[in-house]
Amino acid sequence: MRIGYLPAVCVLFCMLHVKAQETDSIRTLRLKEVDINDSYRQFVRRQSALEVDVIGSVFLRDHFTGNLVQALEHMPGIHSMDIGSGFSKPMIRGMGFNRISVTENGIKQEGQQWGADHGLETDAFNVERVIVRKGPASLLYGSDAMGGAIEIAHLPPPPENRIFGEAALLGKSVNSSIGESVMIGFKKDAWYAKIRYSGQDFGDYRIPADTVVYLTQLLPVYGRRLKNTAGFERDAALHAAYRKGAYLSQYSVSNVYQKTGFFAGAHGIPDASRLEDDGNPRDAGLPYSTVNHLKASARQQYTAGNLSVVLDAGYQNNHREEWSTFHTHYGTQPAPEHDPDKELVFSLQTYSLSAKLQWTPSPVWEHTAGWDMQYQQNRIAGYSFLLPEYWRFTGGLFWLTAWHPRSNLSVSGGVRYDEGRTDISAYTDGYLEAYLSKRGYTDETIAAFRWRSYPVNSRFGNWSGSLGIIWNPADEHWLKANLGRSFRLPGANELASNGVHHGTFRHEQGDPSLSSERGWQLDVSYACEHGGWSVSVSPFASWFGNYIYLKPSGKWSVLPHAGQIYRYTGVKALFAGGEIAGGIDFLRWFGYHASAEYVYTRNLDEQVALSFSPPASMRHALSWKGKHAQVETEWQCIAAQLRIAKNEDPTAGANLFHVRATACIPLGKIHADVSLSLNNLLNKKYYNHLSFYRKVEIPEPGRNFQILIKIPFKQNIK
């Protein structure tokens, strides 16, 4: 691990010679120059040359569904890849999975992001503010953030000493879901702490269809509820901070546990007998998955004069299990003695450390240097095999600078170098070997296939960089442009996986010789806000010299239940598109907001689209805002997605209507925020091109009535 030495020396140097304060202090300084009416959102958007958006607590509450990604989806450029009704993973401008990163409490969330049936393991109730960066953010966040980054942040502590808390209750009709969350905290002089518990329980979700078609078989959906898609979630989190003068330290510990059933008709070959109503729409029987995500992080900040230093340390344990009644295609494989139905287990531990030094030598210059490292270890268990065991070490060094020659102009840029090492353990399957030998395959074929995973030990190094300009000719409008180079280290699944996944039915094969993914992206954005109206346009184009995707090989797999082999392959690819948004307030109480987005993707070797390309879409919202209440109606228009990758199905478009209302009801000294929403008002049957269940032709949830009651309270103390 000698790659860690130099950065470590740098950090030591920083720690010995530097006294500093919190990262945001420099921003705070400049805030004085900014119009006092500027909101935090405006401020952040004008500070980053890259397209960035801040989603505040009011927006999150108004669009709350118990699932963070589904709330973020209301922002143009962001999509939600759903796994049933409960869990989702985010996508930014057509990039999902490992190509975007999500950070919480300063550390990058690490789970099994590569997996199609993995959702984001965060507590939606515990999110107060989200900062979304669209475009290449690997300069700031490292390897995986090549498509963008989602930063989950806490609101700053209140200035007064106080005790505060919140109780929230959520009910949803589409999956008979009940959610609850309780938070309590205090701020006393230098101390600040809060603790939260949240839970959600949901039943099988309703779809507006009586049958689904899967693998050419028509399967019944009894009672219009998708059997065994029920589940639950239990989360707890503690956040504490201590601030004294120029020193700040923050500590966070959180645990998220999710269990969700898989629709049995889509797990394995379809079989109508397994879809019969069991009379209990709230149980998640086999097959199902469970995930437990434990995350602990600590931050130390110190500021002295024009220098500030930040140290972050984090530990995460993501433990995912998939359970399915024991089945094998290899006659010699016995059921395990313990937990015979435990199909797959992935246990991923991640240790991360990072240091950042900010230096503002003069009002026109600002420099940031940083170092970070991450060590991951993945262990596996279960009677089936998909992903091998591995460890991975990555480290990066970066330097960013911003120059403000005039008050209305700033130029920023930076470079970063990352290096990573992956060591993947070999895995040979004796049962598979016996099976192939019994089936009469040649020794050559058996030798090639008995390795479920080849041993891989590779090293990747790559640089990323960006150069951007922000020009603010007047208070009302600004123009930004950014050119960035980003990269991503291939994941263990892309290097060494070799097996058939139940959900996808594909024999997916890694390639140990893959090199890292890299690309260039050009972003431009213009925004104008004047009086009651606003408009913003943000086009982008990116080109990838090496983009890894699953290429159909045309060769039949020898594994049972598999068609052809899909091999991870690097190609040249193009992404282009953008978002347009605008709004106007009129007649004192009314507002109209519209947004549209489009992403064009192309695999330049095969001349087809890339898989999971989000369809063009548009949202129009008309709102009425009173003093204590608000009503909003929304028309969501999703275009058909006919530009597809090989072996993907085109998805028809849909017009959806939603209604939302929020009211603040006084209850003596406190008040309750009540939000009612009616989604998919017309109970339209439609498909989400990005949904995990899309390929099994399962439509999206039908009409949903939702109620959210939030009762915040605060009491100032001495």
The contact set with other proteins (CB under 8 A) reads 215-217, 268-271, 273-274, 325-329, 331, 335, 439, 473, 479, 481, 522, 524, 526, 537, 539, 541, 543, 551-554, 556, 558, 560-561, 563-564, 574, 576, 600, 602-604, 606-609, 644-648
Strand partners, 82: 88
Classify residue 135 as left (phi > 0), alpha (psi -120 to 50) or beta: left
Q: Which is nearer to other proteins, 104 or 648 (CB)?
A: 648
Query: What 3-state DSSP class applies to 434?
Result: helix
What's the half-sphere exposure (Cβ side, CA atoms, 13 Å) at 4?
13
Choice between 6 and 476, CB closer to other proteins = 476
Q: For residue 3, give the DSSP letter.
A: G
Q: State the Cα–Cα distance between residues 248 and 302, nearest whole angstrom.
A: 6
Q: How far is the CB of 133 from other proteins (least distance, A)?
A: 19
Q: Provide CB contacts within 8 A for 324, sequence distance 6+.
A: 262, 267, 268, 286, 287, 341, 343, 502
In the complex, minimum distance from the CB of residue 439 to other proteins, in angstroms, rounded to a whole number? 7
306: phi then psi, degrees, rounded to nearest 5: -100, 15
**Nearest distance, CB of residue 475 and other proteins, angstroms:** 14
Q: Is 372 left (phi over 0), alpha (psi -120 to 50) or beta?
A: beta
Shortest spacing between CB 607 and other proteins, in angstroms: 4
d(CA 276, CA 489): 44
| Assigned token pair, 468 | 């951007």
What whole-number distance in Å separates Cα of residue 626 and Cα of residue 611?
44
Q: In angstroms, what is the minimal distance from the CB of 279 to other proteins?
A: 19
Tokens representing 361 are: 């030598």
| Other Cβ atoms closer than 10 A to 199 | 18
Q: How far is the CB of 197 from other proteins (least distance, A)?
A: 39
Outline where DSSP puts E strands in 364-455: 365-381, 390-406, 409-424, 427-428, 451-453
Of the candidates 464, 521, 513, 519, which has an alpha carbon nearest to the alpha carbon of residue 490? Answer: 513
Q: Which is nearer to other proteins, 182 or 604 (CB)?
A: 604
Torsion of CA 256, 259, 263, 269, to 10 degrees: 100
Closer Cβ to other proteins, 292 or 325, answer by number: 325
Query: Given the complex with other proteins, which of 356 and 695 has the nearer CB atom?
Result: 695
**Taking the complex as a whole, how short is the minimal distance between the CB of residue 214 and other proteins, in angstroms?**
9
**Residue closer to other proteins (CB basis): 190 or 218:** 218
User: Of 17 and 271, which CB lies nearer to other proteins in the complex structure?
Assistant: 271
Nearest by Cα to 528 from 570, 487, 582? 582
Structure tokens at 499: 């097996």
Q: Which is nearer to other proteins, 405 or 560 (CB)?
A: 560
Instruction: Please state, in angstroms and rounded to a whole number, the distance separating the CA atoms of residues 519 and 539.
Output: 17
- Smallest gap from residue 547 Cβ to other proteins (A): 15
Query: Could you tell me the smallest distance in angstroms from the CB atom of residue 347 to other proteins?
Result: 26
* Tokens, residue 382: 């279960």
Smallest distance from the beta carbon of 661 to other proteins, in angstroms?
38
Question: Closer CB to other proteins, residue 594 or residue 608?
Answer: 608
- Is beta strand 247-261 parallel, antiparallel or unpaired with respect to 670-679? unpaired
Least distance between other proteins and beta carbon 522 (Å)? 7
| DSSP assignment string, 465-514 | EEEEEEEEEETTEEEEEEEEEEEEPPPHHHHH-EEE-TTT--EEE--TTP
Tokens of 143: 């390897």
